[in-house]
Amino acid sequence: MDKIKIVLIVLLLLLALMLIGLHFSGSPEGPHGGIVKRAGNYSVELKTSYPYFYTFLLDNDVKPMSNKGISCNTRFILADHTDIKVPLEPFEEDGFYTKLVTHEFISSQIHFNVHGETVIVKFENENLIVKKSDD
């Protein structure tokens, strides 16, 4: 009887560790279904839906902020370390977007100008990482 209790306790501990590991793996999902990264006093959400590239500035509670009075641009960093700078257009009331000029970028560095304050965050191109691992 004691062996059964020990085995059950060990199994429960392993299950708890697996659930904790799943919770901390990957990036959190944002309110628009994109990937979220912290950037100073803000969070930034990135969502790509080829051929479009969307980004959203979020507050401390990961809630979308209005894009009024805010500008945004991105640098698409290529494999040869050159970059393509692209201004993003306002999207609806809380986002910015552009049509991708290439999907072969390694990362994107997003720059927001929030009422004179610069917010910068870098995202790896996960689609390219998946493509490379499939090759």
Predicted local confidence at residue 86, as pLDDT: 96
How far, CA to CA in Å, does 27 sit from each of 68, 70, 110, 126? 27, 25, 17, 11
Give SS3 for 28.
coil
How do residues 121-130 score in pLDDT, each as one tens digit? Answer: 999 987 665 4
How do residues 88-134 score in pLDDT, each as one tens digit? Answer: 999 999 999 999 988 789 999 999 999 999 999 999 987 665 444 44
The whole-number average pLDDT for the span 3-7 is 81
Domain boundaries in the chain? 35-134
Give SS3 for 122.
strand
Classify residue 24 as exposed, middle or buried by CB count within 10 Å of its CB (0-12, 13-18, 19+).
Answer: exposed
Q: Tell which wins on pLDDT, 38 or 135.
A: 38
Domain 35-134 fold: Immunoglobulin-like (2.60.40)
Q: Write out the H or E segment, with its range, that includes residue 94.
A: none
